[in-house]
Structure 1
Amino acid sequence: MRITVLSGAGISAESGVPTFRDDATGLWAKYDPYELSSTDGWQTHPERVWAWYLWRHHLVATVEPNNGHRAVAAWQDYADVAVITQNVDDLHERAGSKPVHHLHGSLSEFWCDTCGARYHAPLPDMPEPELEKMPPSCECGGLIRPGIVWFGEQLPDGPWRAAVEAVATADVLVVVGTSGIVYPAAGLPEVALARGTIVVEVNPQPTPLSENATLTIRESATTALPTLLLQLPALLEN
């Protein structure tokens, strides 16, 4: 059996990683999310954007994979499993999943905004949020930026191609913790359904996918995923 998992912010929220909207509270509440996660915002206020992502980098480092992440990793003992994620954390990898295709980049990667050189030096920790922190400079004079896909940027070609292939070859697509409104990732379940692939949605809240999914489970990832694998053979037989 080939299983492809498409994960979104909901699964990481159960580990304590705030969604973007939840994170934009307190110190950051007055800032437009576009200003903090766009090429325009970076060019105008790189020190503000860098501080925002250093804070998120710290948050991700302090949490652990949950039972949902661990369940997906455990499925690898019984099936061919690929993970596509819209999340920028490394919780799937830390749980043991591979391969993991990051459609929106990763908080673990950094590079120069001018020459593209990778940046591997240790980052300063930010246990408390700060409004401004000047990013490091590259040898070429450019600024080091987070490896995140911002508004105004294309998805990375390699992960996107791998995601399309993983969906095309899946017997079952499990869509967990995603709102289903962010394209082009939200189009992957539509492609799977058009091919006749079984699509299972795991989300406590209704989404645009809900009415078309083969099976919708109104539970959290940590509740649903540890037992979901047992239900899949019956779905495939039907």
Structure 2
Amino acid sequence: MRIVILTGAGISAESGLSTFRDKGGIWSRYDLKDLATPEAFARNPAFVHEFYNMRRANVRKAKPNPAHESLARLEKNYPGEVTLVTQNVDDLHERAGHSRVIHMHGRHGSALCAECGHRWEAPEVMRVEDPCPACGRPATRPDVVWFGEIPYHMDEILGALARADLFVAIGTSGTVYPAAGFVAQARETGSRTLELNLESSAQTRLFDETRTGPATEIVPQWVDEMLA
């Protein structure tokens, strides 16, 4: 059986990384128009860098939780194909032991040249004047997908969804497209669908089954069932 798993901010919340839309989350304290759009970076790149430097530091201090570790165990031990797609820009799946993660929204740990498209591992602190290692231009930006930009690896993700026998969404609100449309695409090709979430999402009605509770509890339980 081929399994495609989509993870969102909810899987990392218990590692201390706040989600975007919950009360007290990032976007209740910051305006996305000032931080997460190409226009914001063009207006005030120093402010955007300062914010993402803070986020990068928070990610480096966070540790994978049992939900991340269980998915790594599933990848290692499940006899079928497991494809993990994440909306998260942290690296907790990798640090938990997952060998391949498709980051559709980029990674905090990566830097991108806005001029030539070169990518490299981000330093702890990124600055406006940092030169690109490839072209030398001071066009360094966080390698994350901002609002209004096209997510990464979409052809690969849609291909995996078309082949999937089971689609599982974990810790995602179901409000951000194109990821919010994955469950409908999976259903169109005959895939079973399962939602694992702290509470019902905007897409719950489209899933064959929904299980609610903390990710650190319900994800290991589901993985144990799949490996039994």
Q: Does the alignment reach a TM-score above 0.5?
A: yes
CA distance in 1, matches of 2:219, 2:192: 16
- Seen in structure 2, the aligned counterparts of structure 1 residues 114 and 198 have a Cα distance that, compared at 3 Å, is same
**CA deviations over 1:48-98 (Å, ceiling 9, x no partner):** 000000100000000111111111111120232110100001111111123
Q: Is 2:209 the partner of 1:208?
A: no
Q: Does the 8 Å CA contact 2:56/2:124 hold for their aligned counterparts? A: no
Task: Work out the CA distance in 1 between the residues paired with 2:178 and 2:27.
Answer: 24
Q: Mapping of 1:73-84 within 5 angstroms?
A: 73-76=72-75, 77-79=77-79, 80-84=81-85
Runs of 4+ aligned residues of structure 1 deviating over 6 Å after TM superposition are none
Q: How far, CA to CA, are the matches of 2:96 and 2:207 in structure 1?
A: 27
The correspondence of residues 148-163 of structure 1 with structure 2, limited to 5 A, is: 148-156=144-152, 159-163=153-157
For residues 59 and 53 of structure 1, the distance between their equivalents in structure 2, rounded to whole angstroms, comes to 10
2-structure distance, mates of 1:115, 1:16: 35
Give RMSD over aligned pairs.
2.1
Work out the CA distance in 1 between the residues paired with 2:192 and 2:100: 21
Aligned sequence identity (%): 38
Query: Do structure 1's residue 92 and structure 2's residue 93 form an aligned pair?
Result: yes
Q: For 1:136-163, what per-residue CA distance to the aligned partner results, in whole angstroms no more than 9, with x for missing partners?
A: 233533321110001121122xx21221
Unaligned runs of 5+ in 2: none
Aligned to 2:53: 54
Shift of 1:231: 4.1
Separation of aligned partners in 1, 2:177 and 2:104 = 11
1:196 to 1:120, Cα distance in 2 relative to 1, 3 A: closer
Q: CA deviation at 1:117?
A: 2.6
> Aligned partners of 1:233, 1:134: CA distance in 2, in Å?
48
Q: C-alpha distance in 2, partners of 1:169/1:120?
A: 32
Deviation of residue 135 (structure 1)? 5.0
CA distance, structure 1, for counterparts of residue 212 and residue 107 of structure 2: 28
CA offset digits 1:159-192 (Å, max 9, x no partner): 2122112222222111000010111111111111
Q: In 2 relative to 1, CA 108–120 (structure 1 residues): closer, same or farther, beyond 3 Å?
A: closer
Alignment map for 1:56-205 (pairs within 5 Å):
56-76=55-75, 77-79=77-79, 80-120=81-121, 122-124=123-125, 134=128, 136-138=130-132, 140-156=136-152, 159-205=153-199
| One-letter amino acid of the structure 2 residue matched with residue 93 of structure 1 | E
- With normalisation by structure 2, the TM-score equals 0.89
Residue by residue, what CA displacement relative to the aligned partner does 1:82-129 show, whole Å, maximum 9, x if unpaired? 10100001111111123211111111110221222334463339xxxx
Structure 1 spans left out of the alignment, 5+ residues: 126-132
The amino acid across from 1:14 in the alignment is E
Q: Provide the C-alpha distance between the structure 1 equivalents of 2:106 and 2:123, rounded to a whole number of angstroms.
A: 19
Return the alpha-carbon distance in structure 2 between the equivalents of residues 16 and 65 of structure 1. Answer: 10
What letter corresponds to residue 6 of structure 2 in structure 1? Answer: L
State the distance in 1 between where 2:227 and 2:15 align. Answer: 29
Alpha-carbon displacement from aligned partner over 1:21-60 (angstroms, at most 9, x marks no partner): 52356xxx3x411210100000000000000001000000
**Where does residue 26 of structure 2 map in the other structure?**
23
